[in-house]
A and B are shown apart, each in its own frame.
Chain A
């Protein structure tokens, strides 16, 4: 990033509308990266002021104080103080405040003044404050506080004009970098700061202490001890319905597109090996990941809407006690929920958890939530082995088994976190659960669109890099060495993958797995659902229309019920996803936790599959 353009840092409390302001200023001229070495998202954008100056702007994670408590807040502190290597010290700090909730923001503004850089206060969401009858004497506040104060309405055209004008003023005569007199405040200093903020508030603001009437009414219902929980469950139900049902047509279309592309390459006049690489390695591999894009977009649509509404904090409030029983933090609710789509965004969203151990627990158990990549495997086996009949007259048996697999995953996650917290880490009291419940706000279409676009591109980029390279590696394992002349078996039976499959046969025999399953598990490491395609390859079925159905018929003829159930049990727990492991390594910053996850999941999977197969055999289904 060029250091020529002056840099502005946006700092503010959580929920102050900082990101909406960032979006309003930069529009599409923004990108999300990671700060080097940590996985805190770095949102940088550019914009041009009315005076024609191009400025760089950084959206920093929300905080109540520069005194950092979580990785996110450390980034905010270090970025503001210019302590990040390779990052420029901001030339101007814009402290963003929710105009209808100024009290805590003013204390933060007082703290920011000590950093030694020019500070300006932007009273955001002024429209809402005005509607609620809150009157702010901005001139008085600016005089008392000693920094420029402007008002802004991020979501309205022209709502940032005042802010842009003031930024132009400020950057025309930037002072040389002053020295920072900031140091982490102790309780006495914080108390003094809040007292001073309260004085400023009394002098410049009329009204504003009252609760927002709409929020109070909504909370009477949504935070009701019983009704609130029922509504939360209903919201989750709709969300999952949407993720699975609405995404279906788009997923089918994407899958059909890749099948068509594969067929196109398959009929092209190319050498067989190259053809196989393009078709089975590249197109099938990337296709099997991109097919989940619709589900990820829909899931994030719900998460972003609930987040922007202000409901997510309420969900954490409602779930805190329930999750606390298993040793999980209320804030772990959102990451674990996301993990039902895919553990990768789930693990990435654990950054909202302050305490390192709470965060680690959540990261470690997130892969046990049933992600969408398990669904093709579950569907295949359930369709082939579980009779399509009703129990108790109205519940489908197949659906019931599916539900059981989800429940097992959840129970596994709760059990593991319980063991971690209560038996291994033993810090009985744990991190406090304290968070602000913001007033409800109507989500803005533009912010939603930008948020969704960011998520989708992050996912696609990963599909194009990490996952693609894994796919290529697995294709090599499954393709080399090449079958000899006049080979009768499918080509994969002569490959390295088959050798590995046979080598681990003695270990998986007690689980009822045959070598074909062992081989399919290896490409299944790239992404769980790839195992389905791999089974197709091993049993020599061409892809295309109805391929999954044909695989189902074959495995139904070749496997015992015990084997099928054991494989389902295996898939609930097994660490069958290289990308998830890669993300855990990145998020925890250590190989250690990646391997801990890998081995504990492997052990659980082995024990679960072993128990399932042996019990099934004892009952005569082996």
Chain B
């Protein structure tokens, strides 16, 4: 919880979701997950910490870990 970072890449080829990779990629981008955007983990669910709520730039987005796996984030080094 409270993990902060910046999106490095979207890697959708091997995501274990019900969606084809390119479709998952488009949906993630439509919700604001683009390279360079700042992200912060805000909340997680009771069972297996799933789903999660993530702050991405100006919005808070809820998604499951399975889809979130496609978002590669590099941790922000505290200044």
Are A and B interaction partners?
Answer: yes
Chain A residues with CB below 8 A from B67, complex form: 432-434
Smallest Cβ distance from B2 to chain A, in angstroms? 12
The answer to whether B18 touches A321 (Cβ under 8 A) is no
**Chain B window 12-37, contacts with chain A (Cβ cutoff 8 Å), 1 for yes, 0 for no:** 00001111001011111111101100
| Cβ proximity bits A97-113 to B, threshold 8 Å, 1 near / 0 not | 00011111001000000
A219 at interface, CB cutoff 8 A: yes
The chain B residue sitting closest to A210, CB to CB, is B58
Contacts of A313 in B (CB 8 A): 62
Q: Which of B29, B53, B55 contacts A317 (CB 8 A)?
A: B53
A67 CB within 8 Å of chain B: yes
Flag whether A64 is at the interface (Cβ < 8 A).
yes
A110 to chain B, nearest CB (A): 12
Question: Is B50 engaged at the interface, CB distance under 8 Å to the other chain?
Answer: yes
B25 CB to closest chain A CB, in angstroms? 4
Whether A433 pairs with B31 at a CB distance below 8 angstroms is no
Number of interface residues of A (CB under 8 A): 49
A12 to chain B minimum Cβ distance, whole angstroms, is 14
Please tell me if the beta carbons of B47 and A322 are within 8 angstroms of each other in the complex.
yes
Say whether A67 contacts B60, CB under 8 Å.
no
Give the residue of B32, B42, B48 whose beta carbon is less than 8 angstroms from that of A103: B32
Contact partners of A208 in chain B: CB under 8 A: 58
Q: Which residues of A contact B24 (CB under 8 A)?
A: 432
Q: Contact check: which of B29, B44, B57 meets A209 at CB < 8 Å?
A: B57
Question: Does B11 have its Cβ within 8 Å of any Cβ on chain A?
Answer: no
CB distance from B77 to the nearest CB of A (A): 19
Q: Which of A67, A321, A432 contacts B47 (CB 8 A)?
A: A321
Contact (A64, B66) CB under 8 Å given A103-B58, A225-B46: no
Q: Are B60 and A432 in touch, CB under 8 angstroms?
A: no
- Is B75 in contact with chain A by the CB < 8 A criterion? no
Which residues of the partner chain B approach A322 to less than 8 Å between Cβ atoms? 47
Tell whether, in the assembled complex, residue A190 and residue B30 are in contact, meaning their CB atoms are under 8 Å apart.
yes
Query: In the assembly, what is the distance between CA of A355 and CA of B24, in Å?
Result: 13
Known A103-B59, A318-B45; judge A432-B66 contact (CB<8 A): yes
**B47 / chain A contacts, CB cutoff of 8 Å:** 321-322
Q: Does the CB pair B34–A104 fall under 8 Å?
A: no
Interface flags for A432-462 (1: CB within 8 Å of B; 0: not) read: 1111111000000000000000000000000
The contact of B62 among A429, A430, A431, A434, by CB within 8 Å, is: A434
Residue of A nearest to B47 (CB): A321
Known: A191-B29, A219-B43. A437 touches B61 (CB 8 A): yes
B51 at the A interface (CB under 8 A): yes
Write out, one digit per residue, whether chain A residues 287-323 have a CB within 8 A of any chain B CB (1) or not (0).
0000000000000000000000000010011101110
Q: Given A219-B43, A320-B45, A432-B17: A191 and B34 within 8 A (CB)?
A: yes
Contact at B45–A321, with CB atoms within 8 Å? Answer: yes
Which residues does chain A contribute within 8 Å of B58, judged by CB atoms?
100-104, 208-209
Closest chain A residue to B60, Cβ basis? A437
Q: What 10 additional pairs, Cβ within 8 angstroms, besides A100-B58, A437-B53? A: A64-B30, A101-B58, A104-B59, A190-B26, A190-B30, A211-B55, A225-B43, A318-B45, A429-B17, A429-B66
Q: 8 A-B pairs, CB-CB below 8 angstroms?
A: A104-B58, A190-B29, A223-B43, A320-B51, A321-B45, A429-B16, A432-B67, A433-B51
4 smallest beta-carbon distances between A and B, as pairs: A429-B18, A225-B46, A64-B30, A223-B43
